[in-house]
């Protein structure tokens, strides 16, 4: 597993124990067992009077090595080093580090997260830099702190703050940690270790306090008050994370320590940690952690040693909602932007939208007035291509019209430099078609943002078979700089996100026409964890967009598109979603959605058109049935997308769904979730429904084959079949 600690003893009698495990000095089992050995050595050696623990290269530690969870999740207890329960938290950190007869000080720069902070809290004092980040982010991985954090943090910073830090998983900076008492002094990076050495000697000489965090009681509220704080946190966590058990478990473990003492708390923490580690939620969240970091590793592209070219100036065509959102994201992150529109009126509106986005950031306290001025100064408007000569990249974000886009791309070829990247924000149109009238196929690429573009975290990078690896590397770099998670996918109708999630609305429409209730479907889907159900989502994006996207799918995948007249019928009556204040829901002045009994009229009419009759079984679907009937077709389409080589890794589709559609992170993404449910079960159910309700549900060959083999859906593909 790698990693180690080193020990060096100075003439002052202070042993410096350094954690070394790049890139973040994570605590692998090797590091932990070395840490114990280094401590044992320091305690035994007569020439050592005191101890400083630090991390190599300016990072204390990013916490337990998350890679090592893999084995433990399959059944082995996460003792790793020995089968003794609680070995790390009790034997190493409490009985070796904290109970040592020599004082230890943690010298913290960079990161002290999770297990890293837990090691630091077992020391007798902590010295940090002001920029250091300290936190217990374990809950975002579906687990709880497992090396004593649930017991020591409340004793150092008080119950309310400790709960906040654990439940939000957000780290705090050194300065705040100092104010809270988590850190004893703030110093600069270059004097960190020297001051920590002196501090350790001062503790030994009793000039500074020798504190065992586990036994402090002064920051913990009296029992009655503590229980009130814990109950308040329980209720809040239940509201914010209704499908998750681990925040409740974390609160229970903290309470055990307060009621029965910290040693009992440590043991309970260990036991609960082992249980949570094997939960589907933790497996899913850990999968997403690595999957998200894996999207920038594209075989054949990022492994060629190509360096991203410097992109300074970007032109955006179209100042509508998308164009202005993209411009906002770019200017906010240091890019010079030219926003081009067809006339002054549209240009003013586009520039106004960017300004409004930035003003809203100022109002929310995310941007200072000074930064606002600097940011807006990076934005220029244009009505022609004259200023495009020196732009490094163009992003076209005009309406979805093929001939208009073709004209734009051939103009761009004339006006831009031959190295300029030509990107399109199209969400459905084939990029080969867009670039048909040019000779620049190697620099044409899709940069598909999600609305609102300055907020949504995903950037779908679409490459054709002719897009050059350099162009992809360049756009990946821009994506990183504007803080998006990029996912590189191949060229097809709807690309990855829209294509995978098209059946989401389709299934819902099919169910409603055959008797299911609109609002019950939306409720079941939001309970499952989606930010909104398919009908509420249609209202939000607007029926115009829904119909335009739908027609692309009817055209390209007619055999499996469910053709419903429900939306067009409502559109005829000027019900077109939230903007018209009427769609599947009605909206009041505060945009609050309420069910509308009038919908029945449209459903009846749509049934007449499609000639389907109500199936009484569908009128009585359970939540579980609704979830399966809506999401199994999504899994099915994701399998097609994967089998066609549109994505290089199944995990990329997981991230695309989580970040592009709001599929719950704690379910790991659509393919991962499909594997948790099981390919055999999904295939069986889809087969059943396709016999009853048609080819919309028919499992694709890939899914059927995986089910027959009993194999996971996300197993690596035979790369020879990849389209990329
Ligand atoms: C028992 C204990 O209580 C349990 C624990 O300690 S659980 C672990 C708690 N720690 C965490 O959750 C921290 C997770 N890590 C992070 O949040 C971020 O990686 C970070 C803030 C440390 C650094 O962020 P950033 O600089 O953007 O770099 P980032 O790309 O995320 O990570 C760099 C590399 O380190 C790896 N890494 C980061 N933290 C890691 C960890 N704890 N274990 C293993 N690998 C880790 C990443 O996978 C990535 O690897 P890659 O280069 O091969 O893709």
- Predicted confidence at residue 250, as pLDDT, reads 98
Phi, psi of 489 (to 5 degrees): -130, 165
Find the Cα–Cα–Cα–Cα dihedral 214, 169, 250, 23, rounded to 10°. -70
| Structure token digits, residue 384 | 């022609």
Distances (CA, A) of 473 to 45, 404, 465, 486, 653: 53, 28, 15, 11, 19
Say how many CA atoms lie within 13 Å of 133 toward its Cβ: 14
Ligand 1 centroid to Cα of residue 484, in Å, is 18
Ligand 1 centroid to Cα of residue 34, in Å, is 20
Please spell the DSSP secondary structure of 342-392, one letter per residue: SSHHHHHHHHHHHHHHHHHHHHTTSS-HHHHHHHHTTEEEESSSGGGTT-S
Residue of 21, 23, 24 to mutate, ligand 1, most atoms within 8 A of C-beta:
24
DSSP, res 169: -
Please spell the DSSP secondary structure of 480-491, one letter per residue: HHTT-EEEEEE-
Please spell the DSSP secondary structure of 631-693, one letter per residue: HHHHHHHHHHHHHTTSBSSHHHHHHHHHHHH---GGGT-HHHHHHHH-HHHHHHHHHHHHHHH
- Predicted confidence at residue 723, as pLDDT, reads 47
- Predicted confidence at residue 76, as pLDDT, reads 53
Distances (CA, A) of 517 to 161, 292, 349, 620, 697: 44, 36, 40, 9, 19
Please spell the DSSP secondary structure of 34-63, one letter per residue: HHHHHHHHHHH-TT--EEEEEEGGG--B--
Cβ(316)–Cβ(408) below 8 Å: no
Tell the residue nearest (CA) to atom 33 of ligand 1: 23
Ligand 1 centroid to Cα of residue 113, in Å, is 9
Note the ipTM here: 0.99
- Predicted confidence at residue 541, as pLDDT, reads 87
Tell the residue nearest (CA) to atom 15 of ligand 1: 62
Tell the residue nearest (CA) to atom 1 of ligand 1: 146
Q: Is 423 left (phi over 0), alpha (psi -120 to 50) or beta?
A: beta
- Predicted confidence at residue 475, as pLDDT, reads 98
Atom of ligand 1 nearest to the CA of 289: 48
Task: Go through 591-622 and write b for each residue having 16 or more CB atoms within 10 A of its CB, e for each that does not.
Answer: eebeebeebeebbeebbeebebeebeebeebe
Residues contacting 609, CB < 8 A, separation 6+: 565, 569
The helix-helix angle for 599-610 and 497-513 (nearest 10°) equals 100
Whole-angstrom distance, CA of residue 700 vs CA of residue 682: 11
Whole-angstrom distance, CA of residue 118 vs CA of residue 150: 9
Instruction: Give me the numbers of helices (H) and strands (E) for the chain, helices first please.
Output: 29, 19
Q: Residue 445's closest CA among 482, 420, 417?
A: 420
Q: Mapping DSSP to helix (H, G, I), strand (E, B) and coil, where does residue 164 land?
A: helix
Tell the residue nearest (CA) to atom 34 of ligand 1: 23
**Enzyme catalytic residues:** 118, 138
| Alpha-helix runs per DSSP H in 390-533 | 402-415, 431-434, 469-481, 497-513, 518-528
Whole-angstrom distance, CA of residue 106 vs CA of residue 61: 11
Tell the residue nearest (CA) to atom 27 of ligand 1: 293
Cβ(387)–Cβ(380) below 8 Å: yes
Q: Could you give the maximum distance between any two Cα atoms of the chain, in Å?
A: 91
Q: Residue 278's closest CA among 242, 237, 246?
A: 246
Rg of the Cα trace of the chain? Answer: 29
Cβ(327)–Cβ(379) below 8 Å: yes
Ligand 1 centroid to Cα of residue 62, in Å, is 6
Q: Which residues pair with 445 in a beta bridge?
A: 423
Q: Mapping DSSP to helix (H, G, I), strand (E, B) and coil, where does residue 277 land?
A: helix
Residue of 3, 55, 66 to mutate, ligand 1, most atoms within 8 A of C-beta:
66
Cβ(266)–Cβ(148) below 8 Å: yes
The count of other CB atoms within 10 Å of the CB of residue 364 is: 8
| Structure token digits, residue 219 | 């920051």
Ligand 1 centroid to Cα of residue 292, in Å, is 11
Please spell the DSSP secondary structure of 560-607, one letter per residue: G-----HHHHHHHTT--BGGGTBSSEEE-TT--EEE-TTHHHHHHHHH
| Structure token digits, residue 694 | 């048609």
Whole-angstrom distance, CA of residue 637 vs CA of residue 629: 13
Please spell the DSSP secondary structure of 315-344, one letter per residue: EEE--SHHHHHHHHHHHHTT-EEEEE-SSH
Whole-angstrom distance, CA of residue 607 vs CA of residue 617: 17
Tell the residue nearest (CA) to atom 16 of ligand 1: 62
Tell the residue nearest (CA) to atom 12 of ligand 1: 137
> Which DSSP helix (H) or strand (E) runs through 84?
none
Ligand 1: residues within 6 Å at CB?
23-24, 26, 62-67, 111, 113-115, 118, 137-138, 141, 145-147, 149, 293
Whole-angstrom distance, CA of residue 507 vs CA of residue 535: 11
Atom of ligand 1 nearest to the CA of 115: 6
Whole-angstrom distance, CA of residue 358 vs CA of residue 206: 54
Whole-angstrom distance, CA of residue 397 vs CA of residue 383: 15
Ligand 1 centroid to Cα of residue 142, in Å, is 15
Q: Is 426 left (phi over 0), alpha (psi -120 to 50) or beta?
A: beta
Q: Which residues of the chain have pLDDT under 50?
A: 719-720, 722-724
Q: Are strands 50-55 and 14-20 parallel, antiparallel or unpaired?
A: parallel
| Structure token digits, residue 299 | 């075989």
Residue of 21, 62, 170, 253 to mutate, ligand 1, most atoms within 8 A of C-beta:
62
Atom of ligand 1 nearest to the CA of 111: 22
Q: Mapping DSSP to helix (H, G, I), strand (E, B) and coil, where does residue 18 land?
A: strand
- Give this prediction's pTM: 0.94
Query: Starting at the edge strand that comes first in sequence, how are the strands of the sheet with 50-55 ordered?
Result: 4-9, 14-20, 50-55, 104-108, 125-128, 185-186
Q: Which residues pair with 486 in a beta bridge?
A: 459
The owner of tokens 């973040």 is 24
Whole-angstrom distance, CA of residue 466 vs CA of residue 368: 43
Ligand 1 centroid to Cα of residue 250, in Å, is 21
């Amino acid at each position: 597993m790698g990693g180690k600690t080193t020990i060096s003893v100075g003439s002052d009698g202070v042993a410096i124990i350094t954690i070394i495990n790049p890139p973040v000095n994570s605590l692998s089992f090797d590091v932990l067992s070395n840490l114990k050995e280094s401590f044992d050595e320091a305690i035994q050696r007569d020439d050592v009077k005191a101890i400083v623990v630090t991390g190599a290269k300016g990072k204390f530690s990013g916490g337990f090595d998350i890679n090592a969870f893999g084995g433990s999740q399959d059944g082995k207890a996460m003792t790793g080093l020995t089968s003794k329960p609680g070995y790390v938290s009790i034997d190493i950190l409490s009985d070796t580090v904290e109970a040592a007869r020599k004082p230890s000080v943690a010298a913290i720069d960079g990161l002290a997260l999770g297990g890293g902070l837990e090691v630091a809290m077992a020391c007798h004092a902590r010295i940090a830099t002001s920029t250091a980040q300290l936190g217990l982010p374990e809950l975002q991985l579906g687990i709880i702190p497992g090396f004593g954090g649930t017991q020591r943090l409340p004793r150092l910073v008080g119950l309310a703050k400790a709960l906040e830090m654990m439940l939000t998983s957000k780290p705090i900076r050194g300065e705040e940690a100092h104010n809270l008492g988590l850190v004893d002094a703030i110093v600069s990076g270059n004097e960190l270790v020297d001051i920590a050495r002196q501090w350790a000697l001062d503790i030994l000489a009793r000039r500074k306090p020798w504190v065992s965090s586990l036994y402090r009681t002064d920051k913990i509220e009296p029992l009655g008050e503590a229980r009130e704080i814990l109950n308040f946190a329980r209720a809040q966590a239940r509201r914010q994370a209704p499908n998750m058990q681990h925040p409740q478990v974390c609160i229970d473990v903290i309470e055990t320590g307060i009621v029965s003492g910290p040693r009992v708390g440590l043991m309970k923490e260990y036991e609960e940690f082992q249980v949570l580690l094997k939960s589907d939620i933790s497996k899913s969240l850990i999968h997403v952690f690595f999957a998200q970091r894996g999207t920038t590793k594209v075989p054949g592209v990022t492994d060629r040693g190509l360096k991203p070219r410097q992109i300074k100036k970007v032109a955006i065509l179209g100042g509508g909602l998308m164009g202005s959102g993209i411009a906002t994201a770019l200017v906010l992150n240091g890019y010079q932007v030219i926003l081009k529109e067809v006339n002054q009126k549209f240009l003013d509106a586009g520039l106004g939208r960017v300004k409004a986005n930035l003003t809203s950031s100022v109002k929310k306290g995310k941007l200072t007035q000074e930064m606002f001025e600097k940011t807006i100064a990076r934005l220029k408007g244009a009505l022609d291509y004259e200023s495009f000569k020196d732009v490094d990249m163009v992003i076209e974000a005009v309406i979805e019209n093929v001939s208009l886009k073709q004209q734009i791309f051939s103009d761009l070829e004339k006006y831009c430099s031959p190295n300029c990247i030509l990107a399109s924000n199209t969400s459905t149109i084939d990029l080969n078609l867009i670039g048909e009238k040019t000779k620049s196929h190697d620099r044409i690429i899709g940069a598909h943002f999600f609305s609102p573009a300055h907020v949504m975290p995903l950037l779908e990078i679409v490459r054709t078979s002719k897009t050059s690896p350099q162009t992809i590397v360049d756009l990946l770099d821009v994506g990183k700089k504007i803080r998006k998670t990029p996912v590189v996918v191949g060229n097809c109708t709807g690309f990855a996100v829209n294509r995978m999630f098209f059946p989401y609305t389709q299934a819902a429409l099919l169910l409603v026409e055959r008797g299911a209730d609109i609002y019950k479907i939306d409720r079941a889907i939001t309970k499952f964890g989606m930010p909104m159900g398919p009908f509420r989502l249609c209202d939000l994006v607007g029926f115009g967009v829904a119909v335009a996207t739908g027609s692309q799918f009817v055209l390209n995948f007619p055999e499996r598109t469910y053709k419903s007249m429900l939306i067009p019928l409502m559109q005829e009556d000027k019900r077109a979603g939230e903007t018209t204040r009427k769609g599947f829901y009605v909206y009041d002045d505060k945009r609050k959605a309420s069910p509308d009994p009038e919908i029945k009229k449209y459903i009846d009419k749509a049934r007449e058109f499609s000639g389907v009759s109500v199936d009484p079984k569908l009128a009585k679907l359970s939540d579980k049935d609704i979830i399966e009937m809506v999401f199994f077709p999504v899994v099915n389409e994701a399998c097609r997308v994967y089998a066609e080589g549109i994505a290089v890794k199944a995990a990329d589709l997981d991230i695309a769904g989580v970040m592009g559609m709001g599929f719950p992170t704690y379910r790991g993404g659509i393919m991962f979730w499909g594997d948790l449910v099981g390919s055999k079960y999904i295939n069986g159910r889809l087969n059943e429904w396709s016999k009853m309700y048609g080819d919309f549900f028919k499992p694709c060959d890939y899914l059927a084959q995986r089910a027959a083999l009993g194999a996971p859906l996300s197993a690596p593909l035979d790369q020879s079949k990849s389209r990329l």
